[in-house]
Amino acid sequence: MTDALVHRGPDDSGFYEDNEMSIGVRRLSIIDLVGGHQPMSNEDGTIWVAFNGEIFNHRQLQQEAEGRHHRFRTRSDTEVLVHLWEDFGEEMVRRLRGMFAFVIYDSEQQLLFLARDRFGKKPLYYAPQGAQFWFASELRALLTVPEINRDLNLSAAGQYLMFFFNPLEESLIRGVYRLPPGCTLTYQISKQRATQRRYWNPIVTPKLDLDENSAMTVLEDRLTEAVRIRLESEVPMGALLSGGVDSSVVTAIAASLVDNLQTFHVVFEGAPSEAPFARLVAERVGAEHHELELRADPMADFPDIVRWIDEPVADASVFPTYYICREARRHVAVCLTGLGGDEVFRGYPWLMKNSAIDLWFRVPAAMRNASYQVAAYTRGRLAGISTDLKKYEDLEYVRLDSRDRCIARL
C-alpha cells in the first residue's frame, strides 16, 4: 500500500504493527526533517499516529501541552496530535488549525480515530471489509488490497456525470468511502463498529458594520495572517504566480514575510498569457521568478495526468496545474497558490447566475409552476431557461433560503 503512495511521500517511510493493527506512512518532509519520522507515538508507545498535512498552530499547542506536563521528543507538528488525543480524545480536532488527514491508534482502548480537516483539503478513504478495516490517502493504495474489489459504484458514477463531481461519501469504487470534510470516524476494533461524527459546519455570520477603509484593514490583516501561518518550513518554498489578483496578493504578502521567495508561471505556446503581469509582480516584490514556456500536447500527457488523479475531475485546469507543479517541484517542495480566491470573492462570471436564480425563487410558487407548464408547450429559449430553473427547484438543496442555496452550489 505504501509503495502505491511513494509519489506523495518520497522522503521517508515507516511502519508500526501489533496483533491488531498495521500502519504504514510515506512522508514528504517539511518540518523537523530528521525528527519527524512516522508513525509517531506518545511516551509509552500506547498511542500511534499517521498524519498527512500541516498543523499551523502546532507551536502554541505544544506550549499548552508542555504546561500539562507532556514531554516532546521532536519539533514536528505530528507529535502534538498524540498528546492532544491523550488529553481531549475526540474533541481534539476542535483545537486544530490546519489542513490534515490523520489516523490515531489507541492500543489500550482498542480503537482507531480518523479525522479530516474542515474543508477536506487532505483526502482520506476507508473500506470496512468484514472483520477488517482499511484506510488510505488514495484509492490506488486500497486497490492493492486483495480483499477490496474493483467494482464500479454506478451511483457515484451517475452523480459525477450529473454534477461533474461526486458529492456522495461513497467513492467510485463500491465498498470504499470518503471521510467527509469536517468529520471524524471512530472504529472500535473489538466490536467492528464505526461511528462517524461531524465536528464542524460553516457558519454564516452577520455582515460586519464597517466602512470601506476599515473593511480593507480587516481584510489585509486576515489575508496576512492566513499566509503567515502557512510559511513555516525547513525546505524551500515558492508561489504559483498566474499574474491574476489572487495569486499576486498571496505572493506579495509571502514575499514581505520571507526571504528568497521563488515564483512560477507557465506559458502555453500560442495561447493568451498573463506572463507580463506575473513578471511585473515578481519584480515588484523581489521574488526569483521562473517562467516555463510549454509546447504541450495535453493528450500525449493525458495518461500521466490521469494517473495522479484518484477520481475523475471535470476541470481542464488540471492540465496547467500539472505542468506548473511539475516544474516547481524541481526547485521547491511547497508552494502557495491563490486557488479559492475567486470562489470567496465572487470573481467568476457564472456566480452572477446564482444571484439571478435567487431572484427567481422570490417569485410566488404558483407563478413559477405556471411558467413551467407554459414552457412545456413552448419552443425556443424560454422553454430552455424555464426547464433549467425547474431542475434547480427539483433539487433538495434549493429549498433552503437563498444564502444557503448559494453556499450549497459553491
How far apart CA 225 and CA 202 sit, in angstroms, is 20
| Strand 98-106 versus strand 177-178 pairing type | unpaired
Asked if 43 and 187 sit in the same domain, the reply is yes
**Are residues 311 and 366 located together in one domain of the fold?**
no
Residue 106 lies in a domain: yes
Domain assignment present for residue 162? The answer is no
Q: Is residue 146 part of a domain?
A: no
Nearest to 178 by CA among 132, 143, 239, 135: 135
User: Does one domain contain both 193 and 64?
Assistant: yes
Q: Give the structural domain span for 232.
A: 212-345
Same domain flag for 302 and 221: yes
The C-alpha atoms of residue 27 and residue 6 are separated, in whole angstroms, by 8
Question: 10 pairs with which residues across the strands?
Answer: 27
In a domain, 173, yes or no: no
19, 104: one domain: yes
Task: Give the global pTM.
Answer: 0.82
> Residue 199 to residues 53, 116, 239, 349: CA-CA distances in angstroms?
18, 10, 31, 33
Q: Is residue 399 predicted with pLDDT exceeding 50? A: no
Confidence of residue 406 (pLDDT cuts 50, 70, 90): very low
Say whether pLDDT at 408 is over 70.
no
Q: Of 25, 85, 84, which Cα lies nearest the Cα of 50?
A: 25
Sign of the C-alpha dihedral computed for residues 219, 222, 224 and 227 taken in this order = negative
Task: Work out the burial of residue 267: count CB atoms within 10 Å of its CB; fewer than 13 is exposed, 13-18 middle, 19 or more buried.
Answer: middle
* Overall number of domains in the chain: 3
Stretch 224-251: mean pLDDT: 89
Same domain, 184 and 114: yes
Residue with cell 516547481: 328
367 and 386 co-located in one domain:
yes
Check whether residue 360 and residue 297 sit in a common domain: no
Is residue 395 situated within a structural domain?
A: yes
Pick 373 or 245 by higher pLDDT: 245
Same domain, 332 and 360: no
| CATH code: domain of residue 221 | 3.40.50.620
Q: Are residues 340 and 356 in the same domain?
A: no
The predicted-structure confidence for 316-362, as pLDDT tens digits, reads as follows 888 888 888 888 888 988 899 988 887 777 777 766 666 677 777 78
Closest to 116 (Cα-Cα) out of 136, 133, 144: 136
Q: Which distant-in-sequence residues (6+ apart) come within 8 Å of 42 by Cβ?
A: 82, 83, 86
Structure confidence at residue 88 (pLDDT):
96
378 with 322, same domain: the answer is no
Average pLDDT over the chain, rounded to whole? 85
- 278 shares its domain with 250: yes
pLDDT at residue number 260: 86
